[in-house]
Structure 1
Amino acid sequence: MKALTALAGLIGAMALLLGGNPAARAAEDDTKIALKLFGKQDIESDLGTCRFSLWQDDRDPETDRYAYLFHVNSGDRGYAGPARVKIGDTVHQLFELAAGGAASNEVAGHYLYASDNREVRVHIEIRSADQSGEDNRISDAVMTVIQKGKVPFVAIAKGVLGCGGQQTASAAPAYQPDARAPGLPNGIPIGRQTLLNDMSELPPVLVQLMREQTGDECDVDGYHAWGGARYVINDYYLLWEVPCISAAYQAASVLAVTENPPRGWGNLLTLPNPPGISGEDYQAMNADILGPKGLVRTTALSRGVGDCGRYRVHRLIDGPGEVLELELLEYREKTDCDGIEMAPKEWPLIYQSY
């Protein structure tokens, strides 16, 4: 608080010194961060079921056209990011650098985001939050925006962090996991996704292993709509998504590990099936990687309308012999393609290991 008070005093003194001179006021404008509010209709990927959103404390995002200061979808579409803030006419994409500090209701007290070039940084301090279902409702937060060559901009905010989505009290209740298991155990954290421009950026050893080991499961040399992705695990390992198949309504990748940086060694990760379902496979269908939790969710649809198929959750763990592997946590399957659509995580539970 002392730092914020001192900053406010500094800005006020600058305003008094510069206020009477038009040229000086123009110079002052050059030092200001032109932070802009935006609405949910401005978020290209729509509000996710899992999200971290902040809005100006005197605005209501449900009724005000412009209310949001900061927004990032997470969980339901993979690792959190990119976040967005709007400065002037530019929407900046930010990625999480760190989270921690004193917690409020199991929510970290501090979050730091930055653009890839570090030109824009956002520090968020959550001072009060209360749990409401799967959401943490943030009643008091301070958001500080730092841009190179500008005076930091401080905003008081409210918001939400969690996976409750946009349901209201009258909406259908959120899925409740099996009473035996209060929640999914975390795996080894996975860093944020870096998309590859094309498959030529994949380590050659992984492409060769795909040809040798995946057989008819994959067509690594065929057409793929994307080039794959890379994730940092730690100073020793990288995780890769290698395109496997691209079909009409779904796609599969293979998860693989190399040294960090790659040096000619690689290992393809298999996805175990539950007891009673034979074998393992390589296909991570429609993979959803929850980076901070170290989880990988896959959904294999039996047909395009998405009313049947199988859903698996694995976590990344240390295996024997200092290798990484995937452990099956949950397996669900809906075999009746009856036209009734529901979230895959609500399909009948076949197996649960936690």
Structure 2
Amino acid sequence: MAPNSLAAELVALGVALTAAVTLGAVWDSATGRRRFAYRGMILILCVAGAAGTGLIWLNRQVDAVPSWASLTVSGTPAAADPAAVPQRRRENGGHIETFTVAGPASGLTLTMYAYLPAVYQPGDGRRYPVIEALHGYPASPLQWLNGLDAITLLDEEIEAGRMAPTIVLFPYQTPKPSLDTECTNMAGGPQTETFLTADVPAFARATLPVRDDPGSWGLIGYSAGGFCASSLLLRHPGQYTAAASLSGYADPGIAVGDGSEHTTYDLTWRLRNLPVPAVSLYLACAKTDRTAMRAATDLSGLAKAPMTVTTAFVETGGHNAQTWSASARPAFGWLSARLARPVP
């Protein structure tokens, strides 16, 4: 029974309801000090059950904790429950494969899922462009696959010809669900930027039929992953040629540990103070999402040649899965139009 399962939520709800009924039944059944002890214990069960129900419900929305092992000190996303990974949505569609990436450059070992398009055939010699899809916080790649139904989205866009057959990678961005790395190299902490920009591409080149020539790799992300996509694009223009940020921000919003959150990890600072790379950036959000709108306005205003920026806003919505789902489809198509095509 995984912590992001309906069964876990129902068990927590059952504990809360049972404790509430029991509390009413025994409220005046005991006398003396035992009465207060009974009331206190059952009240604690009520609160714990209610809190557990709420937390598990939230986890079911964002898939931040896919296994109980990932809650332990030693637990990592490598312990993700295989049953939580969606399978092929249709008989002739693409499918997901699961990998464990042991990163020699970063020292991180994390789970990564890969979408392989329907036309993929092992050993046929064809090589595909690549998109790294980055998740928010708190969340995991499973929100892309479950909540945002990325398999169906990619299948439909490729089948309709709006997107070339592409391998899409869904890596974890943190070794612990409670730690928000914002895809940075944290001082004294996880080197997530190195993992995503060095270890993941090296693993993909060695394991999957990916293109590795200029213009073949892109990025997409929502919320914190949106910041990640923009940040990694600007910091590694030799690896990535385009990125799409869905409700992303202009700075990491965390303490990296060396003050770089105010300089090189601040995207507006980079565009004001460092050479602008020849890359393409897609910024999408809801107009009611004030922080994301401000970031999109600031970044598009600061961008200059050879960098290009495309903006796309939805009138209503907020910082939520509905907005990201609506924005992801055109964003994937925009990315594909700027990436190299599959080659024999």
**Superposition TM-score tier, normalisation by shorter sequence:** under 0.3
Structure holding more strand per residue:
1
Structure holding more helix per residue:
2
TM-score under structure 1 normalisation? 0.27
- Of structures 1 and 2, the one scoring higher in RCO (CA 8 A, sep 6+) is 2
TM-score under structure 2 normalisation? 0.27
